[in-house]
Amino acid sequence: MHKQKIKIEGEFIKLQDLLKFSGLCETGGHAKVVIQNGEVKVNGEVCTMRGKKLRTGDNVEFDENIVELITV
């Protein structure tokens, strides 16, 4: 399992945007598919809402990777 920390500016980032920004998905289309297929977990629970707002302290799991959000 690979873990990385991503710094965000502002109050939140949308799940689909985080998957692209972190490099876990190459395109927004790929992010949309993996989210809708139930392959992504947010804070340990499957999330199928690609527009889900993620904030500092949230953890996203996909394809044996964990992304933790931290503030700048």
pTM score of the predicted model: 0.92
Residue 1: what pLDDT?
Answer: 82
Phi, psi of 5 (to 5 degrees): -110, 135
Residue 31 has pLDDT above 90, yes or no: yes
Residue 9 has pLDDT above 90, yes or no: no
Length of the chain: 72
Give the DSSP per-residue string, the chain.
Answer: -EEEEEEE-SS-EEHHHHHHHTTSSSSHHHHHHHHHTT--EETTEE---TT-EE-TT-EEEETTEEEEEEE-
pLDDT in tens, 35-69: 999 999 999 999 999 999 999 999 999 999 999 99
Residue 6: what pLDDT?
Answer: 94
